A and B are shown apart, each in its own frame.
Chain A
Amino acid sequence: MIELKNLTKKYDDFTAVDDLNLTIETGGFFGLLGPNGAGKSTTIGMLSTLLLPTEGEILIDGGQLNRKNTALKRRISVVTQEYSMRQDMTIEEVMEYQGRLYFVPKKERREKMRRLLEFCDLMDYRRRTVRKLSGGMKRKLMVCRALLTEPDILLLDEPTAGMDAVARRQMWNLLKKLNRNHLTILLTTHYMEEAEILCDRVGLMDRGRLEEVDTPRAMIDRLGRYAVDQTSDEEMSSRFFKTQEEAIQYISGLKRDASLRNTTLEDVFLKKAGKYLEKR
């Protein structure tokens, strides 16, 4: 279980994360959503010990996470937002280096490396340097690298950014499978569809504060399960309804073209993000 208690991160006068309290159960798949600059990556940064909190603490199964606690660090893998790899190393060397940094025994790391690279279609490129890989391939490699160490907790900071649709689906399937095997996952993403499909709970952050935590389904239900989109020359707007009947009744009274669809987490996010922007 991951517990963030009163977690605060300040850079001089700017508060990036403000008194964050959050619990993620073992085996949970939690999505951290929010507009740019909301504090998501800073939170991941503190969980990966790259950033030290100004106040508060992070507990993993009751143990305090810090830079010296190697036993806890062993259980965590991170896919950072940036391509954090040596550009002059080959795919094979990147994996080997990771295995060594996490003290994975030689035979085990070679076997896992082969399996993961095959799964992500990177096996044929294993002798290619990172510099020569496409953005999507680098992203896949980062995920492979994180999984090589068989972590208990996986922190993903926009893991599918730059991936094509097929690769993204592959990655979703993999993450779902890993989560079914009790891997605890914390994900930040800008793809709301990704969060809706993968996460059992999501948290909406704005200006460093966690504004709301719930399941995607509950958030959608609160907004209204059915959405009616109306498009004019100036803008596109949506209205939300609890029942299909209400939505159909609304459409029948409209003079302009409109379409009915199911509400998504993106609608929830847009609605909330709009409110946050108004507050600003």
Chain B
Amino acid sequence: MGIVTVLWEKWVEFRRDFYKITLAAMIAPLMYILVFGMGIQTISHGQPYLQFLIPGVVALTTMNGSFNAIAQNLNVQRLYEKAFDQVMISPTPLWQFIAGQIIGGSLRGIYAGCIIILLVLPIGIPLRFNGWSFLIMFLNGAVFSTLGVVVSFYARTHTDVPRFSNYVIMPMAYLCNTFFSSDNIPHGLREVIQYLPLSQTSSMIRSIANGEPFSCTGIGILAVYLVALTALAFCYLYKKKNL
């Protein structure tokens, strides 16, 4: 099964770069929690700000973990190492290759998210994470892994992926219901931001963490993004004349 082959390849990479991957997943989120949550001690919605912040940081870490695991790696394989050519030439069905990348990326996202959950445990903020939280993290990771696949396929140079990260991923990390509620964003922009995948993920994980019910519409929205981005990736692999 081609999916297992891709997962094997991701495992080899993970095993070799374990410390680098783990440290990279920890540094930025820890800074956010230290600076915004513990350094600048504030109260939000009548609770410590950390209560609001941590689920948002878990969501954005999942996003970054998944996107970075796929986009840059695949881009280098395609444009620099040409290793992607061997996959295209091989009889492994291309849909299985994409599925493997999505699952592998999602698992890396979950791994990064879990590190943050473990790191904030000693702080003693009463937050809950259950099976739904991990399902949502997986789905969020799947959306951003697929985005990583699409961006790496359509990138023309090595610098296109970091550029995309700067223009799209980083603003999302700050604006999508992570550091502050998107309800505070001006009308018009608020509606756009609310329907972005990270906003939905943050909102759902936060609701679960606080023991509140969450809207399943968010899962539907993530699924729509996943289907649309997967279609774009397929379109590239099967229709593009020159890879």
Does B85 sit at the interface, judged by CB under 8 A?
yes
Does A14 sit at the interface, judged by CB under 8 A?
no
Which residue of chain B has its CB nearest to the CB of A71? Answer: B91
- Inter-chain contact B92/A101, CB cutoff 8 Å: yes
Does B243 sit at the interface, judged by CB under 8 A?
yes
Other-chain contact of B89, A49, A52, A88, A93 (Cβ < 8 Å): A49
Does B242 sit at the interface, judged by CB under 8 A?
yes
Q: A51-B242, A100-B5 in contact; A84/B82 too (CB < 8 A)? A: yes
Interface digits, B57-91 against A, CB 8 Å rule (1 contact, 0 not)?
A: 00000000000000000000100011111111111
Does B93 sit at the interface, judged by CB under 8 A?
yes
- Inter-chain contact A88/B16, CB cutoff 8 Å: yes
Q: Which of A77, A84, A87, A98 has the most CB of B within 10 A?
A: A84
Does B169 sit at the interface, judged by CB under 8 A?
no
Residues in B whose Cβ lies below 8 Å from that of A52: 240-242
Number of chain A residues whose Cβ lies closer than 8 Å to a Cβ of chain B: 34
- Inter-chain contact B82/A101, CB cutoff 8 Å: no
Does B195 sit at the interface, judged by CB under 8 A?
no
- Inter-chain contact A67/B242, CB cutoff 8 Å: no
Does B232 sit at the interface, judged by CB under 8 A?
no
User: What's the least CB distance linking B3 to chain A, in Å?
Assistant: 11
Does B238 sit at the interface, judged by CB under 8 A?
yes
- Inter-chain contact A84/B91, CB cutoff 8 Å: no
Main SS of the interface on chain B? helix
Does B183 sit at the interface, judged by CB under 8 A?
no
Which residue of chain B has its CB nearest to the CB of A54? Answer: B241
- Inter-chain contact A51/B241, CB cutoff 8 Å: yes
Within 207-243 of B, Cβ neighbours of A (below 8 Å) are at 237-238, 240-243
Residues in B whose Cβ lies below 8 Å from that of A50: 85, 88-89, 242-243
Q: Which of B86, B87, B240 has the most CB of A within 10 A?
A: B86
Does A73 sit at the interface, judged by CB under 8 A?
yes
Does B9 sit at the interface, judged by CB under 8 A?
yes
User: What's the least CB distance linking A127 to chain B, in Å?
Assistant: 12
- Inter-chain contact A84/B13, CB cutoff 8 Å: no
**Alpha-carbon gap, A116 to B82, bound state (A):** 23
**Alpha-carbon gap, A70 to B94, bound state (A):** 9
Does A86 sit at the interface, judged by CB under 8 A?
yes
**Alpha-carbon gap, A54 to B13, bound state (A):** 37
Residues in A whose Cβ lies below 8 Å from that of B243: 50-51
Which residue of chain A has its CB nearest to the CB of B241? Answer: A52
- Inter-chain contact B13/A88, CB cutoff 8 Å: yes
Does A48 sit at the interface, judged by CB under 8 A?
yes
Which residue of chain B has its CB nearest to the CB of A93? Answer: B12
Does B8 sit at the interface, judged by CB under 8 A?
yes
Residues in A whose Cβ lies below 8 Å from that of B84: 84
- Inter-chain contact A83/B13, CB cutoff 8 Å: no
**Alpha-carbon gap, A135 to B240, bound state (A):** 31
Other-chain contact of A70, B77, B82, B93 (Cβ < 8 Å): B93
Residues in B whose Cβ lies below 8 Å from that of A78: 89
Which residue of chain A has its CB nearest to the CB of B97? Answer: A101
Other-chain contact of B87, A87, A93, A101 (Cβ < 8 Å): A101
Other-chain contact of A67, B5, B13, B16, B237 (Cβ < 8 Å): B237
- Inter-chain contact B83/A73, CB cutoff 8 Å: no
- Inter-chain contact B88/A101, CB cutoff 8 Å: no
Residues of B within 8 A of A (CB): 2, 4-5, 8-9, 12-13, 16, 77, 81-94, 237-238, 240-243
Closest 10 pairs (CB-CB, A-B): A84-B82, A101-B90, A74-B91, A100-B5, A70-B91, A73-B91, A84-B85, A86-B83, A52-B241, A48-B89
Extra A-B contacts (16), CB below 8 Å, given A52-B240, A80-B85:
A49-B89, A50-B242, A50-B243, A67-B237, A67-B238, A73-B91, A80-B82, A83-B81, A85-B83, A85-B86, A86-B81, A88-B13, A89-B12, A101-B2, A101-B5, A102-B91
Residues of A within 8 A of B (CB): 11, 48-52, 54, 67-68, 70-71, 73-74, 76-78, 80, 82-89, 93, 96-98, 100-103, 145
| Cross-chain pairs A/B with CB under 8 angstroms, 20 sampled | A50-B243, A51-B242, A52-B240, A67-B94, A80-B85, A82-B82, A84-B81, A84-B83, A84-B84, A85-B81, A85-B86, A86-B77, A86-B81, A86-B83, A87-B81, A98-B86, A101-B5, A101-B87, A102-B90, A145-B86
